Amino acid sequence: MSNVLKACRISLSYSQPFLAKYPDENINERYDVEKNRGKNKQKDSIVIPALQLEKERIIGEAKLEAEKIIKGAQAQAEQIRQEAYDSGYKTGYEKGKDTGFTEGKQQSKAEYEELLSQVLKQKADMEKQRIEMLQNAEEEIVTLALSVAKKIVHSELDLRPEKILAMVRYAIDECNADGKKVLKVSPKDYDEIIKNKNALGLSVDHEEELIIQKDDRLSRGDCIVESDFGIVDAKIDTQLQIIKESFADAGVGRSYET
């Protein structure tokens, strides 16, 4: 079985985590999702604004620090320019007594240009550091958000273990293959799935074609469906990784330009 299909649907809200297409006469009658929608939205309204505030705080601090560095560099550049000018003028004046004012003036200009080049390089390095700080801040926000989402999913499954049925039904639907299928789940979810197998909406024929097994390598909420045509990986970590990759594809952490 070399084909691996990654399931890329996951719900970070409490209303319908990882819901797929389920027959209305089975899932909707057994679990009243709408009843708890208000409570779940209240939880989301706490978590998401908190993440947004944290992101704004980090980015704001990075911008203030960058502005402070740039202003300091500009002041230093002006000081160096003035010192170079004064030094060059004095040097030129002294040398002008012996070797001519022109030679002294040229020497002063060369020294000034060298110092100015150093200051400009310093400024460019500081700007590069500022951009890296902003990029790292966004990447940390994404990692934090996914970590919080994972904890929310596991917490919901601890409180309402029957929610695993929605994830299992989704994985089975994603495995569009005839013949026998092997459903592997966490030992923590196994009893709940066996007890409510009828709620999955499987016909008698389909039940005979579905083998449910425990897999100690899987965590609560994880499930894998194997068939002769491939594997549907519906583990929570796999789905969160797909979300993280979608952030990268959207350019998160790479949106700042010099």
For 120-144, the pLDDT digits (tens) are 888 788 888 877 776 676 677 666 6
**3-class secondary structure, 68:** helix
Query: So what's the pLDDT on residue 149?
Result: 64
Answer whether residue 93 is part of any domain: yes
Is the pLDDT confidence value at 62 over 80? no
Answer whether residue 71 is part of any domain: yes
Answer whether residue 257 is part of any domain: no
Query: So what's the pLDDT on residue 88?
Result: 63
Choose the final residue of a domain: 114, 130, 146: 130
Answer whether residue 28 is part of any domain: no
Query: So what's the pLDDT on residue 66?
Result: 65
CB-CB contact of 18 with 10 (8 Å)? yes
Query: So what's the pLDDT on residue 2?
Result: 47
Choose the final residue of a domain: 107, 130, 153: 130
Answer whether residue 247 is part of any domain: no
Task: pLDDT band for 239, please (50, 70, 90 cuts).
Answer: confident
Of 247, 227, 228, 244, nearest to 236 by C-alpha is 244
Is the pLDDT confidence value at 84 over 80? no
Annotate 25-62 with b (16+ C-beta within 10 A) or e (fewer).
ebbeeebebeeeeeebeeeeeebeeeeeeebeebeeeb
d(CA 205, CA 67): 68
Answer whether residue 217 is part of any domain: yes
Reported as a single tens digit per residue, the pLDDT across 196-211 is 877 776 544 555 578 8
Of 175, 158, 244, nearest to 209 by C-alpha is 175
Looking at residues 117-122, what average pLDDT do you find? 81
Distances (CA, A) of 176 to 86, 180, 229: 81, 11, 9
The answer, as to whether pTM is greater than 0.75, is no
Query: So what's the pLDDT on residue 214?
Result: 93
Residue tagged 């704004």 (tokens) = 56
- Tell whether 168 and 124 lie within a shared domain: no
Answer whether residue 19 is part of any domain: no
Question: What's the full length of the chain, in residues?
Answer: 258
Looking at residues 78-97, what average pLDDT do you find? 66
Indicate the number of domains in the chain.
2
Answer whether residue 249 is part of any domain: no
Is the pLDDT confidence value at 16 over 60? no
- Residue 66 structural domain: 49-130
The beta-carbon contacts of 58-64 under 8 Å, at least 24 apart in sequence, are: 58/137, 58/140, 58/141, 59/134, 59/137, 59/138, 62/130, 62/133, 62/134, 62/137, 63/130, 63/134
Query: So what's the pLDDT on residue 109?
Result: 77
d(CA 244, CA 258): 25
Bridge partner residues of 183 (DSSP): 212, 225
User: What does the DSSP assignment read for 133-168?
Assistant: HHHHHHHHHHHHHHHHHHHHHHHHHHH-GGGHHHHH
Reported as a single tens digit per residue, the pLDDT across 37-57 is 555 555 555 556 666 676 677
Tell me which range, 125-129, 139-143, 159-163, 220-224, is most confidently predicted by mean pLDDT: 220-224
224 or 110: which carries more pLDDT confidence?
224
Task: pLDDT band for 184, please (50, 70, 90 cuts).
Answer: very high
Looking at residues 144-162, what average pLDDT do you find? 66
- For the beta carbon of residue 113, count every other beta carbon within 10 angstroms: 11
Is the pLDDT confidence value at 25 over 50? no
